Amino acid sequence: MNGNWTLFKRNLSEFWKSFRRNKLGLLGGFLVLTAVLVAAFAPVLTPYSPKDIVRDENGRGLTFTPPSIHGPLGTDDAGHDVWSQLVFGARISLMVGFMAGFIAMFVGSLFGIMAGYFGGGIDNLLMRITDILLVIPDLPLMLILVATLRQMDLNISPLSVLIVVIGLLYWTSTARLIRSQVLTIKERQFVARARAIGAGHGHIIRKHILPQIMPLIVANTVLILSTAILVESGLAFLGLGDPTQPSWGTMLNFAFDRSAVTNGAWWFFLPPGLAIVWVTLGCVLLGNVLEEMLNPRLTAHHLEGDQNMVMIPAPEAK
Amino acid sequence: MTAPLLSVRNLTTEFHLPDGKIARALENVSFDVMPGQTVGLVGESGCGKTTTLMSVMRLLPASGRITSGRALLKGNDLMQLSERQMRAIRWRDMAIIFQGAMNALNPVMKVGDQIREGIELHNLMDREAAEKRVGELLEMVGIQRARRDQYPHQYSGGMRQRAMIAMALACSPSLLFADEPTTALDVMIQAQVLELLKQIQKELGLAIVMVTHDLGVVAEVCDTVVVMYGGKVAEYGSADFIYNQPQHPYTQRLLASFPGLNEPSDNLASIPGTPPRLTNLPTGCRFHPRCEVKVDACARVDPPILETSPAHYAACHLCKGKEAIFA
């Protein structure tokens, strides 16, 4: 176990060394990491609770005030602090995005691996399901699904509905990507060798297929996260978010509903928009770089290292 | 006389092609492998050598079907076993060294882990003992134990081939299939690998079935030779006999096209034409369109396999002998 740990630490430090060289990846990582940290430490970073009404020295509520000493990003129409909403909104946006992204990734990987590995009828069935989901326009379908699920009185929170709907609709591209990769891997000879040593399907998928597509899955997850966050913002902007737990999309929805634009209250609608760009851009940059890096075949060569490690067997004496 | 370790009897394998055609890749293939012996399967590309190994291991791709025949390993018919029973036998009793070791190793798995994989799957020993065994196997094939934790791309071509051999020996099988173990290696490494195989065979007493194009390799290591043509056995007998008194015209031409060191000539001899397409086999003897000594019967009647002398078989109308029945 100890050996594994040191090996893991070594791999991690090597990973970091090559990651550090990539400026775009670093930028992406920085963007994502700051957003996550801000969400995690939200209470520490905010002067008010998002529901507090900000008042001036005379106790008057401040509505639509530009950035001032009372709040770094001003206040909205009801006198709530925009900065506090933005910081707490990060929690909602990231949580919905991450959870939906992971559901999509899981379903997509499962469908992709099953379809690619088993082929034949299973492949046909799973891929036709994927095709159907691909050709239905996403946005109307999601609107209908979210609206109906809300009506059905299922006793689940509005945010969970969003998570499930996004997660169960955005796995199609992942499934296709992974299926095509599995198709090429399963024809490789080491899979035939695994069968020859007496391995069953479960073993082959776990030990030989999964490690090969893991880089793809990791990189794709990060990319799917950005999509999920964007989609969540879109749905929330259209009023399908949870008004009691506002995400960045919900903030934009409020801003437009309450005529922040006509009032010139740019501090109300610009920050959430920029925050969305911040996180999605970070995910895309990070995802692209991870995809390049997590490929062990590009890292080392057999002539590297200790030359004396090659031993030539002495020919047998005749 | 000792019982054969593996008896292949009248094995027939077909491939169902996407366009609906059926390619008969093997037809009535029969041969024996004695314990501790080396059998060479030789012939041109596409004549069914690898398919024979894959059929015996029951590792054909989804389009392949074994339509008839038996393969008795220590008396058990492999063709009758369930997939689960088959899995238990693979690697434990018969292991295979694949054609081109670079592709048969998983590029993202440490070589040592890949060697241990088979031991683990068959629950032969605990992890610590398995680790020790991996080290011993690596040393047996001339690779330092320290290389255990390296990945295949950190190995050279010859080392990968030797790692494959170590892997095949992991569960101490009694039968080893080697599918062109020396192709794609340079001559020096080829010699090393062959030397290693011979040495291991002597130490462990295993039987080897070797698929190869290289008649030099056959002469060097094989006791018995099966010459295949178009999915059928053309000639089958001891290596000595086949080299010195080849009966089948195909074997004769094959041997003639191998340049000798003693009588170098400017032109390499070759057999005109190409092996038959398996979807469109010629009538009669499969070799007759390319045969120089064909007679009328060759185009009409498929020659039966004849026992031309004790334990030597050839399928040719020109040979004399009584018809051999493999049952």
Q: Do B108 and A197 touch (CB under 8 A)?
A: no
pLDDT digits (tens, 9 = 90+) for A5-41: 565 666 677 778 877 888 888 999 999 999 999 999 9
Please name the residue that has the structure tokens 């929330």. Answer: A236
Sheet holding B6-16, edge to edge: B22-33, B6-16, B64-73, B76-77
Question: In sequence order, what E strands does B123-206 have?
Answer: 175-179
Q: Does A305 touch chain B (CB under 8 A)?
A: yes
Judge whether A280 and A229 are in contact, CB under 8 Å. Answer: yes
Q: Which of A197, A306, A311, A202 is nearest to B164 (CA)?
A: A197
Say how far apart CA B81 and CA B241 lie, in whole Å: 36
Q: Do B98 and A192 touch (CB under 8 A)?
A: yes
Q: Who among A189, A302, A311 is closest to B142 (CB)?
A: A311
Contacts of A312 in chain B (CB under 8 A): 142, 192
Say how far apart CA A92 and CA B320 lie, in whole Å: 88
Q: Do B144 and A309 touch (CB under 8 A)?
A: yes
Q: Does B24 touch chain A (CB under 8 A)?
A: no
Contacts of B153 in chain A (CB under 8 A): 296-297, 300-302
Kindly state whether residue B197 falls inside one of the protein's structural domains: yes
Q: Who among A196, A200, A300 is closest to B153 (CB)?
A: A300
Judge whether A139 and A72 are in contact, CB under 8 Å. Answer: no
Domains in chain B: how many in total? 1
The CA-CA-CA angle for residues B95, B166, B193, to 5°, reads 95
Please name the residue that has the structure tokens 């670079």. Answer: B102
Distance to chain B for A123, nearest Cα, Å: 14
Lowest mean pLDDT among A48-62, A115-129, B249-263, B310-324: A48-62
pLDDT digits (tens, 9 = 90+) for B231-248: 999 999 999 999 889 999
Q: Does B295 touch chain A (CB under 8 A)?
A: no
pLDDT at position A155 is 78
- Closest-CA residue in chain A for B90? A198
ipTM over 0.90: no
Structure token pair of residue B264: 């170098």
DSSP string, A143-190: HHHHHHHHHTT----HHHHHHHHHHHHTTHHHHHHHHHHHHHHHTSHH
Q: Does A309 touch chain B (CB under 8 A)?
A: yes
Q: Does B58 touch chain A (CB under 8 A)?
A: no
Kindly state whether residue B212 falls inside one of the protein's structural domains: yes
SS3 call for B26:
strand
pLDDT digits (tens, 9 = 90+) for A145-166: 988 888 887 778 888 899 999 9
Say how far apart CA B74 and CA B57 lie, in whole Å: 14
Q: Does B274 touch chain A (CB under 8 A)?
A: no
Contacts of B156 in chain A (CB under 8 A): 302-303, 310
**Segments making up each domain of chain A, as ranges:** 24-39+79-295
pLDDT at position A305 is 45
pLDDT at position A318 is 42
- Find residue B95's DSSP bridge partners: B176
CATH number at B46 reads: 3.40.50.300
Structure token pair of residue A122: 């299973």
Containing domain of residue B55, as a range?
Answer: 6-93+173-323
Q: Do A309 and B62 touch (CB under 8 A)?
A: no
- Closest-CA residue in chain B for A296? B108
Say how far apart CA A1 and CA A5 lie, in whole Å: 6
Question: What topology does CATH give the domain A24-39+79-295?
Answer: MetI-like fold (1.10.3720)
Kindly state whether residue B231 falls inside one of the protein's structural domains: yes
The CA-CA-CA angle for residues B211, B215, B220, to 5°, reads 90
Q: Do B121 and A198 touch (CB under 8 A)?
A: yes
Q: How confident is the model at residue A301 (pLDDT cuts 50, 70, 90)?
A: very low
- Please determine, for residue A82, whether its predicted confidence score (pLDDT) is greater than 60: yes
Q: Which of A254, B142, B128 is nearest to B120 (CA)?
A: B128
Kindly state whether residue B138 falls inside one of the protein's structural domains: no
Judge whether B24 and B278 are in contact, CB under 8 Å. Answer: yes
B192-199, long-range: CB within 8 Å, 24+ apart, which pairs? B192/A312, B192/A313, B192/B142, B192/B158, B192/B162, B193/B158, B193/B161, B193/B162, B193/B165, B194/B220, B194/B221, B195/A313, B195/A315, B195/A316, B196/A313, B196/B141, B196/B142, B196/B162, B196/B165, B197/B165, B197/B221, B199/A316
* Torsion A83-A84-A88-A93 (CA) sign: negative
Kindly state whether residue B240 falls inside one of the protein's structural domains: yes
Kindly state whether residue B247 falls inside one of the protein's structural domains: yes
- Closest-CA residue in chain A for B122? A198
